[in-house]
């Protein structure tokens, strides 16, 4: 929960992603590596959705929405940082942080990190890439940091996730 910045607040969504909870339950019931992979991916999806709280809303803040779209489009770029994003958007880093936090209830850096983690976990499940290749393709410039981040977010090492899913 800490890895998704969910320790001090609960985000109430308008609709519960019931299909994700069903996917976790079904994956665990299968009790095979592919079922566990489905459960891990669905659980990550639940946490990702819970971490994105709609504050005042992106429509009331075009800067925040533009930042989100830019991060979704370019998250694989290892040189994308909050400094480079603020420079691209021609705003101060603090202005970017406040606008994004207000609109989505999560910092832009945490959003970018979570977006990269989502892609990395999917790649660990669906490819035979080496761990450092997955890290790079998901936007993590340091494979050691990537391994620690995956362990922190899932409780599992990247190698374990990859080998337990038959990749």
Inform me whether the pLDDT recorded for 14 exceeds 70: no
> What is the pLDDT at residue 163?
78
Who has greater pLDDT, 32 or 96?
96
Q: What was the pLDDT predicted at 78? A: 95
Report the 3 state secondary structure along 43-76: HHHHHHHHHCCCCCCHHHCHHHHHHHHHHHHHCC
Q: What H or E segment, with its residue span, contains residue 159?
A: helix 158-164
Report the top-level CATH class of 58-109.
mainly alpha
Average pLDDT for residues 16-29, to the nearest whole number? Answer: 72
**pLDDT above 70: percentage of residues in the chain:** 71
The mean pLDDT of 59-77, rounded to a whole number, is 90
End-to-end CA distance of the chain: 27
The pLDDT assigned to 134 comes to 95
Written as six digits, the tokens of 118 are 């989502």
Chain segment 99-131, per-residue pLDDT in tens = 999 888 889 999 999 899 988 988 888 778 999
Q: Return phi, psi of residue 102, to 5°.
A: -65, -40
2-54+113-164 and 58-109 agree in CATH topology: yes
**Position with higher pLDDT, 4 vs 33:** 33
Average pLDDT over residues 10-27: 65
Spatial CA neighbour of 57 closest among 18, 14, 88, 92: 14
Supply the pLDDT for residue 167. 45
Tell me what pLDDT residue 103 has.
Answer: 87
CATH topology of domain 2-54+113-164: Arc Repressor Mutant, subunit A (1.10.10)
Q: How many residues does the chain have?
A: 167
Domain boundaries, the chain: 2-54+113-164, 58-109
Question: What tokens were used for 57?
Answer: 């809303």
Provide the 3-class DSSP secondary structure of residue 165: coil
Q: What is the pLDDT of residues 38-51, one digit of tens each?
A: 677 777 666 666 66
> How confident is the model at residue 17, as a pLDDT?
63
């Amino acid at each position: 929960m800490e890895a998704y910045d969910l320790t001090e607040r609960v985000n109430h969504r308008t609709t519960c992603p019931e299909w994700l909870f069903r996917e976790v339950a079904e994956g665990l019931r299968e009790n095979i590596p592919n079922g566990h992979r489905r459960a891990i991916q669905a659980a990550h999806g639940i946490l990702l959705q819970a971490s994105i709280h709609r504050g005042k809303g992106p429509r009331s803040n075009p800067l925040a929405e533009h930042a989100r779209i830019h991060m979704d489009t370019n998250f694989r770029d290892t040189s994308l940082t909050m400094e480079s994003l603020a420079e691209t958007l021609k705003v101060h880093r603090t202005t970017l942080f406040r606008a994004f936090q207000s609109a989505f209830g999560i910092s832009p850096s945490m959003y970018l990190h979570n977006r990269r983690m989502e892609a990395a976990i999917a790649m660990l499940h669906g490819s035979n890439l080496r761990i450092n290749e997955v890290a790079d393709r998901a936007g993590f410039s340091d494979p050691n940091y990537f391994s620690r981040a995956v362990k922190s977010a899932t409780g599992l090492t990247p190698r374990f996730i990859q080998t337990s899913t038959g990749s």
